């Protein structure tokens, strides 16, 4: 009787999970924090103290999964310092229904929170075989010409796939289009991605200097998609204390709110703010979180499915 009951419970658990996941391609959020994660290395301020004490409050560095239930394949966006946690988290959340490794990884740029997770695929850890990494030309050259990343290439742990800006690539029945955005491009250009599934269109711009510097209009681009996950690194201009925020320019959340202030609710409601610095109160201040939601915007949450 106990054995029968055990298998009934396990069967019910799997069925419940399957009912929660969409039948068509979808996006799962695997991280929402800026490159340093939350809590942040060395931070003993109030913003991080609570997360040091309570592991449930911690957030991984920004990352998405594109999941295709039809083909049982998935693709990862960004190779973050938290990649081993994110691969395991994806496996757990999908009840092992997909391969442990993605079909490929799309990377925006060469800042630490977005590409150094590639180290996990080298001979010291997983020693993968030809894992596809989709990148724009300057980032491709950077990885090929600089160690330790060049070893991943020479040992064929990863296979670099060069993207052309504004040219879509097909992954199963989905399309991924890279485009460039202005950012601190010390080692590579910076990409954003448009993700098109058979049922939805998504915009993913975790890093950009300012909306006004882009050669496209962010309002128009948001109107073209169903969900836009966009840079919300800092809420306001005074978060960094003595460090000049001009050293790391990003659109402030209050600037984005003002920019979209006159737009209809259905336009603002497409926006899911993401890539939060540890100082950003949207990570830990419920009053400000509620105000942003009241203003018509959304806050991306780790583990959510869109």
CATH number of residue 191's parent domain: 3.60.15.10
- Main-chain dihedrals φ then ψ at residue 13, nearest 5 degrees: -60, -45
Count of alpha carbons within 13 angstroms of residue 265, beta-carbon side: 4
**What's the total number of domains in the chain?**
1
How buried is residue 91: exposed, middle or buried, by Cβ count under 10 Å (0-12/13-18/19+)? middle
| 16 in a structural domain | no
Residue 71 near residue 103 (C-beta atoms within 8 A): no
What's the rounded Cα separation, in Å, for the pair 77 and 203?
12
pLDDT tens across 138-185, in order? Answer: 999 999 999 999 999 999 999 999 999 999 999 999 999 999 999 999
| 84 in a structural domain | yes
| 10 in a structural domain | no
pLDDT tens across 80-114, in order? Answer: 999 999 999 999 999 999 999 999 999 999 999 99
| 18 in a structural domain | no
pLDDT tens across 12-52, in order? Answer: 333 334 447 788 999 999 999 999 998 999 988 888 889 89
| 3 in a structural domain | no
Residue 73 near residue 103 (C-beta atoms within 8 A): yes
Chain-centroid distance, C-alpha 198 = 21
Residue 184: CB atoms within 10 A of its CB come to 13
| 34 in a structural domain | yes
pTM score, whole prediction: 0.91
E strands of the chain, at which residues? 26-31, 63-68, 73-77, 104-106, 131-135, 158-162, 169-171, 174-180, 191-196, 201-205, 227-231, 271-274, 298-299
SS (H, E, C) 24-67: CCEEEEEECECCCCECCCCCCCHHHHHHHHCHHHCECECEEEEE
| 175 in a structural domain | yes
Residue 217 domain boundaries: 23-299
What's the rounded Cα separation, in Å, for the pair 202 and 222?
9
What pLDDT score does 84 carry?
Answer: 97
What pLDDT score does 245 carry?
Answer: 72
| 306 in a structural domain | no
Measuring CA to CA, which residue among 62, 64, 12 is closest to residue 36?
A: 62
């Amino acid at each position: 009787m106990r054995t029968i009951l055990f298998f009934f419970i396990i069967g019910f658990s799997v069925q419940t999970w399957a009912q929660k996941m969409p039948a068509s391609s979808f996006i799962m959020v695997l991280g929402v924090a800026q490159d340093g994660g939350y809590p942040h290395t060395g931070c003993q301020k109030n913003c991080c103290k609570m997360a040091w004490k309570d592991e449930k409050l911690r957030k991984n560095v920004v990352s998405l999964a594109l999941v295709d239930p039809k083909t049982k394949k998935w693709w990862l966006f960004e190779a973050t310092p938290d990649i081993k946690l994110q691969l395991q988290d994806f496996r757990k959340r999908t009840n092992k229904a997909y391969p442990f490794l993605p079909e490929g990884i799309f990377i925006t740029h060469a800042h630490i929170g977005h590409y150094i997770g590639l180290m996990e695929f080298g001979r010291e850890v997983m020693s993968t075989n030809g894992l596809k990494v989709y990148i724009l030309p300057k980032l491709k050259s950077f990885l090929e010409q600089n160690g330790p990343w060049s070893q991943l290439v020479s040992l064929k742990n990863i296979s670099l796939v060069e993207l052309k800006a504004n040219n879509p690539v097909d992954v199963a029945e989905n399309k991924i289009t890279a485009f460039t955005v202005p950012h601190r491009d010390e080692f590579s250009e910076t990409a954003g991605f448009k993700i098109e599934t058979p049922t939805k269109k998504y915009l993913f711009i975790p890093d950009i200097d300012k909306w006004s510097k882009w050669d496209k209009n962010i309002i128009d681009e948001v109107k073209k998609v169903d969900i836009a996950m966009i840079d919300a690194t800092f809420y306001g201009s005074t978060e960094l204390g003595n460090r000049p925020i001009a050293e790391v320019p990003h659109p402030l959340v209050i600037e984005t709110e003002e920019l979209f202030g006159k737009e209809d609710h259905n336009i603002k409601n497409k926006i899911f703010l993401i890539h939060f610095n540890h100082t950003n109160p949207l990570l830990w201040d419920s009053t400000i979180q509620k105000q942003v939601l009241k203003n018509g915007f959304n806050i991306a949450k780790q583990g959510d499915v869109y």
